[in-house]
């Protein structure tokens, strides 16, 4: 079946179990799975559905070899699949992040300011955060990316 881009709702996000076999049927180039991949089970499932391999983000950050502050690894180890939030949706710049006090503050601002929100309103929670988190270990200093697969780090 050919893809019908015009009929596809722009905001639709396909679950991996739908996307991978569909990609395998449609694409003539190799592709990898990504998002929620964590271990050998993820790889076997990805290969079974037609991918050539998989990409891991969150899971690799919690490895001994990852050059990030140990506080980040401990935060991931302590997290469950319920501990992420989607932020910056009103700014059309959605990011899934590990929840913390800064993220809760950010979400309160989003709820209060609604569609009128500007980047400047949330800059304290999102700008310049990564060096503070990843290098200095200040894991509550702002919003930083984390997949729902954090729980599999345990
Ligand atoms: C710390 C961190 C930073 C990331 N930064 C970006 C980014 O700047 N832009 C982007 O498109 N994706 C970013 N991602 C998403 C990854 O590129 C990747 O798609 C995702 O982590 C894969 O899902 P997983 O974390 O469940 O393995 C980031 C992920 C993490 C964990």
- What is the pLDDT averaged over residues 98-114? 97
- Please state, in angstroms and rounded to a whole number, the distance separating the CA atoms of residues 1 and 20: 15
- Does residue 120 share a domain with residue 77? yes
- Does residue 71 share a domain with residue 52? no
Domain that holds residue 37: 5-56
Nearest C-alpha to atom 7 of ligand 1 is from which residue? Answer: 145
- Does residue 30 share a domain with residue 75? no
pLDDT tens, 30-59?
999 999 999 999 999 999 999 999 999 999
pLDDT of residue 10: 58
- Asked if residue 56 has its Cβ within 6 Å of ligand 1, the reply is yes
- Does residue 80 share a domain with residue 40? no
- Does residue 140 share a domain with residue 78? yes
Per-residue confidence band for 14, with pLDDT thresholds at 50, 70 and 90: confident
- Please state, in angstroms and rounded to a whole number, the distance separating the CA atoms of residues 110 and 112: 6
Looking at the whole model, is its pTM more than 0.75?
yes
- Please state, in angstroms and rounded to a whole number, the distance separating the CA atoms of residues 86 and 56: 19
Q: How many domains does the chain have?
A: 2
pLDDT of residue 13: 74
- Does residue 47 share a domain with residue 67? no
Per-residue confidence band for 113, with pLDDT thresholds at 50, 70 and 90: very high
- Does residue 71 share a domain with residue 42? no
- Does residue 84 share a domain with residue 10? no
User: Ligand 1: which atom is nearest the Cα of residue 36?
Assistant: 26
- Please state, in angstroms and rounded to a whole number, the distance separating the CA atoms of residues 32 and 47: 9
- Asked if residue 35 has its Cβ within 6 Å of ligand 1, the reply is yes
Q: How many CB atoms lie within 10 A of CB 144?
A: 21
How far does the centroid of ligand 1 lie from the alpha carbon of residue 83, in Å? 16
- Does residue 123 share a domain with residue 88? yes
Given a cut of 80, whether residue 5 has pLDDT beyond it is no
Given a cut of 70, whether residue 6 has pLDDT beyond it is no
pLDDT tens, 69-101?
999 999 999 999 999 999 999 999 999 999 999
Given a cut of 80, whether residue 134 has pLDDT beyond it is yes
């Amino acid at each position: 079946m050919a893809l019908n881009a015009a009929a596809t709702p722009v905001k639709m996000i396909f679950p991996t179990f739908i996307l991978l076999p569909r990609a395998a049927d449609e694409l003539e180039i190799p592709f990898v799975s990504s998002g929620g991949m964590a271990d050998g089970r993820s790889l076997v499932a990805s290969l079974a559905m037609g991918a050539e391999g998989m990409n891991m983000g969150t899971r690799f950050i919690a490895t001994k070899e990852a050059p990030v502050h140990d506080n980040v690894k401990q935060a991931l180890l302590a997290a469950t699949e319920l501990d992420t939030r989607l932020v910056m949706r009103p700014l059309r710049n959605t990011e899934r992040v590990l929840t913390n006090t800064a993220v809760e503050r950010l979400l309160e601002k989003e709820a209060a300011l609604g569609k009128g929100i500007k980047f400047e309103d949330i800059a304290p929670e999102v700008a310049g955060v990564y060096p503070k988190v990843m290098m200095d270990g200040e894991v509550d200093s702002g919003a930083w990316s984390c997949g729902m697969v954090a729980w599999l780090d345990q």
